[in-house]
Amino acid sequence: MLKYLIDENVDPLYPVQLRRLRPELVVWIIGEPSTPPKGTLDPAILLWCERFEFILVTNNRSSMPVHLKEHLNEGHHIPGIFILNRNLTVKQNLNELILIAEASFDGEYQNQIIHLPLTQRGQQEI
């Protein structure tokens, strides 16, 4: 199953609800023990995600593509980056993250930035 690292700028409701709805899902937040401290720069977060095989969940639409390109150009890899959709409700974004975690195979999102939703389901109120 996928492991998620939640960016510190993502609404704290996301990790709380992910942990409540799917306690078996590994969900860590930047700033928690064993994760990068709050204020860590994006390139260092990408290195951490690569080392510990976590997918980064973020709202960062502007600079993350640049950081990922640099990361890859330096010969690194990352399990993936998921960008939440501000046009979806929290519940819809959560449903997408849960569905993706349950239905994905290892390496499916490697070196990619994925903008939610992946499914039509995410576009509807559930």
Domains of the chain: 3-123 (3.40.50)
**Alpha helices of 53-124 — where are they, by DSSP H?**
64-73, 90-103
Query: What string of pLDDT tens digits covers the 126 residues of the chain?
Result: 899 999 999 999 999 999 999 999 999 999 999 999 999 999 999 999 999 999 999 999 889 999 999 999 999 999 999 999 999 999 999 999 999 999 999 899 999 999 999 876 544 443
Phi, psi of 109, deg, nearest 5 = -110, 15
Q: Which pLDDT does position 58 carry in this prediction?
A: 97
pLDDT for 124: 46
Cα 112 from Cα 119, distance rounded (Å): 17
CB 71 within 8 A of CB 45: no
pLDDT at 31: 97
* Biggest CA-to-CA distance, the chain: 41
pLDDT number for residue 120: 65
d(CA 33, CA 68): 24
- Give the pLDDT of residue 118: 86
Alpha carbons 104 and 85: distance in angstroms, whole number: 19
Instruction: Name the pTM for this structure.
Output: 0.93
